[in-house]
Structure 1
Amino acid sequence: AGAFASYVEGRRYEVDRQVDYVRAQLRILRDRDALLRASRDDEYRASIFGPYGIPATERGSLV
């Protein structure tokens, strides 16, 4: 357990962030007003959907 402590701690932020995204997505699916707000508020949408809410033009290309 000690050997993996730094690895686990390093991943904690990533996992917590993903859990926050999932919670926000579940909330937005249940809350019509939040969904409508996300449709017109770029900053709010990015906070809810994280990297998935960023327009494709800003994400770059895989090509």
Structure 2
Amino acid sequence: MTSTASEDDAAYSLDLLTNASDADSSDTLNVNNLTLVSGDASGITVSGNSLSIDPNTYNALAVGESEV
């Protein structure tokens, strides 16, 4: 899953289970113990199976600078 945004974009959410499946249809998929491995967690919130991103948090980045 990838996502790209400008600091001027509105906040948005990503469903972390989009396109996820399990061969055992009786199983329920969910996201647990999500850990940020690089970058800064500013502007990122995890709620259930959704990742909410607020690009406005990154307004302080200089022209050409990015956050991964």
TM tier, shorter chain?
under 0.3
> Structure 1 length normalisation: TM-score?
0.24
Computing the radius of gyration from Cα coordinates, the structure with the larger value is 1
Larger RCO (CA under 8 A, 6+ residues apart): 2
Q: Which of the two has greater strand per residue?
A: 2
Q: Which of the two has greater helix per residue?
A: 1
> Structure 2 length normalisation: TM-score?
0.24
